[in-house]
Amino acid sequence: MHLTAPATSHTGKRDTDGMAVASFVLGLLGLLVLNVFLGPIAITLATIALWRGTARPGRAYLGLGLGVADLLVLLVFIQADNTVSWSF
């Protein structure tokens, strides 16, 4: 007699919701530090979460917007001092 755990379909949805929240948090954090890395990660996670049908589309859209804002902030600072790094 084999005892196996029942398969649940909730895991995939929960992972997708986690991606939406993670994209929001990383996008927000990327406005302050490491925006060259955190911006694209936030964009990627938000896109995957939206594509998979997250229950939190608002967070995913915010993460997507913040990821784009991260890259725009980086672009503004690059144009301001002609270097890839920036400081306050």
Amino acid, res. 33 = V
Q: What is the mean pLDDT of residues 52-74?
A: 92
For tokens 């967070």, the residue is 59
Element at 85 (helix H, strand E): none
What are the distances in angstroms from CA 23 to CA 1, 46, 72, 81? 43, 5, 17, 29
Percent of the chain with pLDDT over 90: 49
Both tokens of 15, joined, read 């992972």
- Checking if the pLDDT of 15 tops 60, the result is yes
CA neighbours closer than 13 Å in the CB half-sphere of residue 61: 5
